[in-house]
A and B are shown apart, each in its own frame.
Chain A
């Protein structure tokens, strides 16, 4: 089981950056013209970025990833939290509590 509190599970994430994107197999490279930054997304980050085309709660994202990947609930929650934090730090998304 995830150790996240129910409030964190209901946090909503949404895109804040408009990226120029190019696909490479299951991955993505992207430019943020406003920040002048270039990003390489691995397959999981690409999945999460695409799911965030519309705002999603943490719980929704986790549920969809659990359906797609063979991973425990706790590992999924921890990795997803780390990825979302990384995306927030890069100013690609924000969180609405």
Chain B
């Protein structure tokens, strides 16, 4: 894993983790403490009885469907789906859009990634982790 600083002062590890096998952790029984302690917002809501198991599973299935649909496009554009990668793609598209050289395919990819990230923001990420802000 390669730590990076993004945003400044906030150390993170690059994703995806090399211990990820499909959608499962391959070192689950001896995973690092921060991984074991992590709770996404959906899991917190489920544990607080604010979301039923069925609703939570539906949200996870929706997210997985979106990820599966986007994955080939993202791989073709050079990287995994992470908040950092989203930022890089968005900035690249902004530069091209400003220069008038962005293609409709690139706009489509950015739009679909924005849709995915907004879905993850709403259901899985805490407010300080969200990446699609109003008027970004």
Contact = CB atoms under 8 A, between A and B. Distances in A.
A41 B122 CA distance: 12
Interface in A59-97: 86, 89-90
B133 A36 contact: no
B136 interface: yes
Nearest to A19: B111
A42 B121 CA distance: 12
Contacts of A38: 90, 110, 114, 132, 136
Given A31-B111, A86-B135, A36 B94 contact: yes
Contacts of A31: 107, 110-111, 114
Interface stretch (A4-12, A20-28, A50-58): A20-28
Given A36-B95, A39-B135, 9 more contacts: A22-B114, A24-B122, A30-B114, A34-B97, A36-B94, A39-B134, A86-B134, A86-B135, A89-B135
Q: Tell me what chain B mostly uses at the interface: helix, strand, loop, or mixed.
A: helix
A40 B118 contact: yes
Q: How large is the interface on A (under 10, 10 to 19, 20 to 34, 35 or more residues)?
A: 20 to 34
Interface of A: 20-24, 27, 29-31, 33-42, 45, 86, 89-90
Main SS class of interface, A: strand
B134 A36 contact: no
A33 B97 CA distance: 6
B110 A24 contact: no
A39 B115 CA distance: 10
B112 interface: yes
B123 to A, nearest CB: 10
10 contacts: A20-B107, A24-B122, A33-B97, A34-B97, A35-B97, A36-B93, A36-B97, A37-B135, A38-B136, A86-B135
A45 B134 contact: yes
B102 interface: yes
